[in-house]
Every structure is written in structure tokens, then in C-alpha cells.
Structure 1
């Protein structure tokens, strides 16, 4: 029986790297991201289903849930860095913070709620991608880190409430991605870990299926 995974933010970075790893193991993939062109190219490469759109939009969430009546793995990888250059909390624009919460916290919860029946039926798993900024006091990272802290606690409670569904909140460490480059500059980002290496570790986690909890991959 073929396993099915739904991955958000799958057009580049960790989402695309994980999709490639799972595709190599024969998984059936449903991929979503806002960048339709990049997503379609990724789906064509991997033989996956592409459903471009914004996970903050309820209609898009409904479309994704309808596409996966059977679901073994949901990966909430899509996220936003927020305002750049990264501002101190004293000057963080509040409307921008509300948008960041919508993207990094509310949208993952909405997709979890929409796909839980399929995940329960399959005794599936949820991976929520978080960050060490959720717990570290890094100057400038307060807005982003606060949303990831909220996502971690959401994951923690969901793990307790849904014992038949594995829930992991995963800190992948610094990766050479466009998001990190936007935060710290391209030169520093280039020295970070290749997302493909992190994706292999994440794939190993899914295969091992340990108890739900926080996982640090670096």
C-alpha cells in the first residue's frame, strides 16, 4: 500500500528536498506552495500532485483536505520570516505580526483540523517545522520566534490530545535557504546545512516513527 504525504511550502528549500526524498521511497505526494511555476516544476519532476495556493486561505485548505482522503503524513513546512530587516520587538509593526501569526500558527492548525479525519484513519503523523528561535532570545527574531513558540505548544497539546496520531515538532537547524538568506545575508546562509541533508534526517524520523515530541535534527 502506497503512503501519502501532504507537504506545504514544497516548491523549494526543505519542503522540496523532503518531497524528493519521499518520492524516491515511492510515496504518493500532494504538494502545495504559493509559487505556482516552481511548484508545477517540482510536481512534474516527482510525479506528484501540485495544488498551488496560500495556506492562509480557507478555500485552499479545503481543496487540500479534499485531495487527501487518505493521509499518512502532513508536513507543515510553509512559513514566513516576517518583516526584514529583522526589527526589534519594540518597533515590530503589529499588523505585520498579525499576518505572521496567521501564516505560521493559524494556517498549520487549520490544515491539521481539516485533515485530522484522514490522519486518524491512517494512524498517520504530523510534522510541524519549527526553529530554535522558538526558545532562544535572539535579537531581531522576536516576531518569528514567538510564532514558532506558539506552533511548538500547539503541537505539544495536539500530541497529547491525539494519541493515535504521531505529532513531531521539528527544529531543522540553520539551512541554506532563501529564508535564511533574507534574514542573515546570502554569504552566511551559504555556509549553513544543505536542506537535502536535513530532509534525509526527517525522512528517517518518519520511518522510525518514535513517540510524538520535539525533535532537533542538528
Structure 2
């Protein structure tokens, strides 16, 4: 068989993608990327109204998009999401674990309940959904792509002024989860990779950006800019498609170089 063209390698026609936290921000951006490459898309987040609006936006762009409301911090909701997606779509070839929460508090004052809230969604939810989708489809199929959204916050300690201990810890855990799961599930033909976004003006990050100053955040990046509505599309498509079929257990920072500067500090 001759080698495929680049266009063929990146083509997702016939594939199904499930994206959690997919109704806005980074999740919706990644849904656009996968849908534009031909995948059918299932969106999930907690709020039905947001999902309906996001699905309509994707459909207007010619993407086959549907939605299921679910809270992935709750095990019963997460399992229902997996079962219902497989029932309605018949497959999940690409799973994007993106739903996430944060909490701002100094470490010595951080409520245990808030710690649990962040960990349940950002780590435990990723595990439960990955396991159920793998057992329900990817392992029997001997094929699959799992993309976990971590963060550059999982790579280094916080600069002064950022008090996000639980969030940072959860994102460090996501990187470890990604690498370990990739080692275990490679024999099933499943790749598992992570994306570590830097600062994008999402709903979750906007408060922190405003607190620390957008100009300061830009100045912290060698490229002197925040992430935009296109910057996760390329890496998402690479990880999801056959163009990235020999990449597993890896993480990639998409941050304008911020982690390079912080890592050297």
C-alpha cells in the first residue's frame, strides 16, 4: 500500500468525537477542528442551553453535531454520557477530556470541599469516562484516540499572585495519567496524549487574566500574545487523526512560549 497523502492522513470522515466541556471556549474550538476535518461530533457540558447554542453554531458550519448534558464531576452522569453517546452515535473514535474546574485560594486556606470538586472533575472524571469509552468501544475495536486537556499550570509552580493549588495539582495529575494510560493501552491500538494550553481568554481564565493584567500576561510569553480561537486546532487534529498515529504518551504546550520562560526561571 502506498503512503497516504497529508490530506488523507488528517481526514476524519467516518469518525465520531466526544468532547466534554464542549459548549464554549477551548472545547468548542476543538469541536470545530474535529468537525471541520469530517468527524461527527457529540458535545457535552452541564448546561443544556449552552450546548444547544454550541451545536447550532457547529451545524451552521456544516458539522454534524449533537449534545448531551452531563456533569462529569458525578460518576453516574459520566457513565450515562458514555452509554448514551455510544448508543446514539454507534462509536467514539476520539475522546477529548476537556471539562474542568478551578478554585482560587491560598494553600493554607483552601477548602477541602473545593479541592474535591476540582479533583473529581479534572482527574476522576477523565479516568471514568476514558475507561468506559475504552471498554465499550475502543478496546474491542483495537483503535482509538484520547486527548486529555492539561495545562501549563501542571508544569511549574505558580507565579506570585496566582493561588490555584488544586487546579495545578490536577493538571499535573492529568499529565501523569496520560503517560501511564498510553503505556497500558498502546497494545489496544489506543493513543493517549495531552495538550497543555497557556493563557486563552476563556470564561474560566478571564478573571485571572484581568486580575494579573492582560498586558502582563502577554509580556510573559515570548510571542507576546494570548491564545486565540485557532491555536488549539492544529494540535487537536494531529492527535486525533492518523497523522499522529505514532504519537502517544506525550504532552504539548500551546502557550506562546510561556512555559519555556517559566521553566527556566
Which of 121, 140, 151 is 1:103 aligned to? 121
- What is the DSSP-based 3-state SS (H/G/I as helix, E as strand, rest coil) of the residue aligned with 1:51? strand
Counterpart position of 1:119: 138
Counterpart position of 2:253: 216
Equivalent-residue separation in structure 2 for 1:156 and 1:116 (angstroms): 16
Does the CA contact (< 8 Å) of 1:17 and 1:196 recur in 2? yes
Equivalent-residue separation in structure 2 for 1:142 and 1:58 (angstroms): 24
Over alpha carbons, which structure has the higher Rg? Answer: 2
Residue 204 of structure 1 and its aligned partner are, at CA, apart by 3.1
Counterpart position of 1:77: 98
Does the CA contact (< 8 Å) of 1:7 and 1:77 recur in 2? yes
Equivalent-residue separation in structure 2 for 1:127 and 1:14 (angstroms): 13
User: Could you report, residue by residue, the CA deviation over 1:131-173 in whole angstroms, capped at 9, with x for unpaired residues?
Assistant: 1111211041222101111121111111111012100011122
Which runs of 4 or more aligned residues in structure 1 lie more than 3 Å from their structure 2 counterparts after TM superposition?
A: none
Task: In structure 1, list runs of 5 or more residues that go unmatched.
Answer: none
Which of 163, 166, 184 is 1:161 aligned to? 184
Does the CA contact (< 8 Å) of 2:33 and 2:236 recur in 1? no
Which of 240, 249, 260 is 1:206 aligned to? 240
Does the CA contact (< 8 Å) of 1:70 and 1:122 recur in 2? no
Which deviates further from its counterpart, 201-210 or 51-60? 201-210
Equivalent-residue separation in structure 1 for 2:32 and 2:116 (angstroms): 33
Counterpart position of 1:64: 81
Equivalent-residue separation in structure 2 for 1:20 and 1:215 (angstroms): 20
Trace 1:119-158 onto structure 2 (pairs within 5 A): 119-120=138-139, 121=141, 123-138=143-158, 139-158=162-181
What's the Cα RMSD here? 1.9
TM-score, normalised by the number of residues in structure 2: 0.75
TM-score, normalised by the number of residues in structure 1: 0.90
Residue 70 of structure 1 and its aligned partner are, at CA, apart by 1.7
Residue 114 of structure 1 and its aligned partner are, at CA, apart by 0.9
Which of 27, 34, 48 is 2:46 aligned to? 34
Residue 122 of structure 1 and its aligned partner are, at CA, apart by 5.1
Counterpart position of 1:55: 72
Q: 1:105 to 1:197 in 2, by over 3 A?
A: same
- What is the DSSP-based 3-state SS (H/G/I as helix, E as strand, rest coil) of the residue aligned with 1:21? helix
Residue 109 of structure 1 and its aligned partner are, at CA, apart by 0.6
Counterpart position of 2:30: 18
Equivalent-residue separation in structure 2 for 1:53 and 1:148 (angstroms): 21
